[in-house]
Amino acid sequence: MPELPDVEHHRRTVAEHATGQRVERVAINDPALLEGTSPQGLGRSLVGRTVTAPRRHGKWLILEFDGEDGPHLLVHFRMTGRLVWHEDGEVAGDDAVALHLEHGVLAYRSERRLGAVWYLPPGTEREEVTGPLGPDAVTLDRNGLAEVLGDRRGGLKSALLDQARIAGLGNELVDEVLWRSRLHPRRRAASLEPDELDALHQQLRIVLRRAIRAGHVPAGPTWLNGQRAEREPRCPDCGGPLVRERIAGRTTLWCPTEQPPPGVGG
């Protein structure tokens, strides 16, 4: 579930509750979810430091600490990760990594244990952990989008999911944006006409803005995403049945009426 809007929600949680507070101690319940250092090493690096303004790039949350060359924590949520703020200072058993601060506890959980918290030593490049990341989807302008898709030979959906090209879009966001842009996910990425690029960029902005406001990709009656869990999903727009098939390795929903499949050549 966590895509860009969910990570942005977690970033705001940190900004509202944790920024400006000193780390008093760290508690590691699940060492497997702490990468790049040991529990003891994390304590040595962070205790006494103050949490500064959190940043986000794509689906990565970047926690920073004060000091000349303060260390960073890089947080990825994968399928089921999330951050929890404990005002009362109590941690739960499923809090894998917890930072005890002056007025509460910031805890990372990952139910299916796919995500993790990476310790990034001072002076280390972020890309060594995150791999190459394209521009954040929020900051991508229309020409940037054209650039990212233009030299791609493959399908539109797989291009939009490629974090090295555009950082932050996941399965739900991409299906939603393609549906609203009336573009079929199997279109060749480089085959879009200027007006199609305009529509894609405009819908991307609208969907991102609304999803960030909600803290997740909405699943209301006017959202394609609301049909994802339905046994017989229907197009919220035309009422016809949606197609559910595997595209770019992911379960994909699309409307056969509003998103015509590409013809020969893309």
By annotation, the residues acting in catalysis are: 2-3, 59, 250
Q: How far is the CB of 166 from DNA (least distance, A)?
A: 10
Nearest to 18 by CA among 91, 84, 92, 95: 84
Quick check: 185 binds DNA (CB under 7 A)?
no
Spacing of C-alpha 210 from chain mean position:
15
Q: How far is the CB of 165 from DNA (least distance, A)?
A: 8
Separation between Cα atoms, residue 58 and residue 136, nearest integer Å: 5
Choices 83-91, 95-103, 139-147, 240-248; region in contact with DNA by CB under 7 A: 240-248
The interface with DNA within residues 13-32 (CB under 7 A) comprises: none
The interface with DNA within residues 146-175 (CB under 7 A) comprises: 151-155, 158-159, 161, 163, 170-173
Separation between Cα atoms, residue 3 and residue 198, nearest integer Å: 23
Instruction: Give φ, ψ of 85 to 5 degrees.
Output: -105, 120
Quick check: 1 binds DNA (CB under 7 A)?
yes
Separation between Cα atoms, residue 20 and residue 24, nearest integer Å: 13
Quick check: 3 binds DNA (CB under 7 A)?
yes
The interface with DNA within residues 43-82 (CB under 7 A) comprises: 58-59, 76, 78-80
Q: How far is the CB of 114 from DNA (least distance, A)?
A: 5
DSSP conformational letter for 255: -
Separation between Cα atoms, residue 228 and residue 173, nearest integer Å: 12
Between 22 and 113, whose beta carbon lies closer to DNA?
Answer: 113
Separation between Cα atoms, residue 185 and residue 223, nearest integer Å: 17
User: What are the residues binding DNA (CB under 7 A)?
Assistant: 1-3, 58-59, 76, 78-80, 111-114, 130-131, 151-155, 158-159, 161, 163, 170-173, 228, 246-251
